[in-house]
Amino acid sequence: MKIGFTFTNYNNSRLSIQAAHSIAAHHGDCEYQIVLVDNASTEDERRILAEPGALPPDCTVLWSPKNVGYFDGLNLGITALWDNSTHYDAIVIGNNDLVFESSFFEGMRRRTEAFARHSVVSPDIITLDHEHQNPHVISSVSRFREIIWDLYFSSFWLSQLIGWFARLARSLVGRKDHQAHAHEGPISQGYGACYILTPRFFQNYRLLWSPGFLMGEEFYLARQLASHGEQMYYVPDIPVQHHDHATVSKLPSKRLWEMTRQYHHIYRFFVSPYRITMDNGKMAADFDRRMQAKST
């Protein structure tokens, strides 16, 4: 197999280096090409990434002059991979705080039939605490949870109170979808830390739909796939390790809340708990036309 990888780096270059070396050490007989997109990290972090010998062979860095966000950064990497005029059996995208072991590549080789049938495959993402993060959303979100989200994003201070309660009652309010991590099948949303884009994806879409800067990528990708009547497909026997929140942990809490609220406003264009049918059936193109109309 020929596999492309692209990740975004923002002020955590050592994690990017670790991810790249894990691919180089465990790829087996798979060919690989890695593109790291640096999202305007500090000079010290860029120096770490640019140090001679820091990265393995077949790994290049794109130095973005500004932080373009998560999916737009990945789109830069995807474009660079295709500009190499190389055919890829799959392109793996995601956070730079991932660690790939031999089992990931073995799973990729075993499950090529899933790549032929689906545009996006979600792997089994496992944290360092051995928690499974997929499937993220199997079918839908309850109206009660939707209303709590509206309250959460109505005020930063109210979000702190709701967040405190959620942490206190995690076992009661936490979603349980990830507990079905042993079961393969179509899902509404896969966790945004890692996706496998297949040749079928590039036949229909070419790049990721990216209406927001950061947060909400799971929903954006799900909406993009829905425009062709597709869903993500979860495969449990392609495991990848995840450090979890290495990038967002560097953002101040209020700044992170503001970025998540931006996503919530986009989400509300499509889904609202106050309608008879929460999902209005609109697609990514409808939102793009709305934004274009606003800008003219």
67-83 per-position pLDDT tens digit:
999 999 999 999 999 88
Measured CA distances, 253 to 30, 100, 156, 173, 191 (Å)? 40, 29, 10, 21, 21
% the chain with pLDDT above 90: 79
What's the average model confidence in pLDDT over 127-155?
91
pLDDT tier at 148 (50, 70, 90 boundaries)? very high
Beta bridge partners of 127: 242
pLDDT tier at 245 (50, 70, 90 boundaries)? low
Measured CA distances, 32 to 21, 54, 251 (Å)? 12, 17, 32
pLDDT tier at 37 (50, 70, 90 boundaries)? very high
87-105 per-position pLDDT tens digit:
899 999 999 999 999 999 9
pLDDT at 282: 94
156-209 per-position pLDDT tens digit:
999 999 988 887 766 555 667 888 899 999 999 999 999 999 999 999 998 999
Cα gap 41→65, rounded to integer Å: 9
Can you list the domains of the chain with their CATH numbers? 2-137+177-250 (3.90.550.10), 143-174+252-296 (no CATH)
Spatial contact of 31 and 84, defined as CB atoms under 8 Å apart:
no
pLDDT tier at 129 (50, 70, 90 boundaries)? confident
What's the average model confidence in pLDDT over 118-142?
92
Spatial contact of 8 and 75, defined as CB atoms under 8 Å apart:
no
Average pLDDT, the chain: 92
Structure tokens at 148: 């709590």
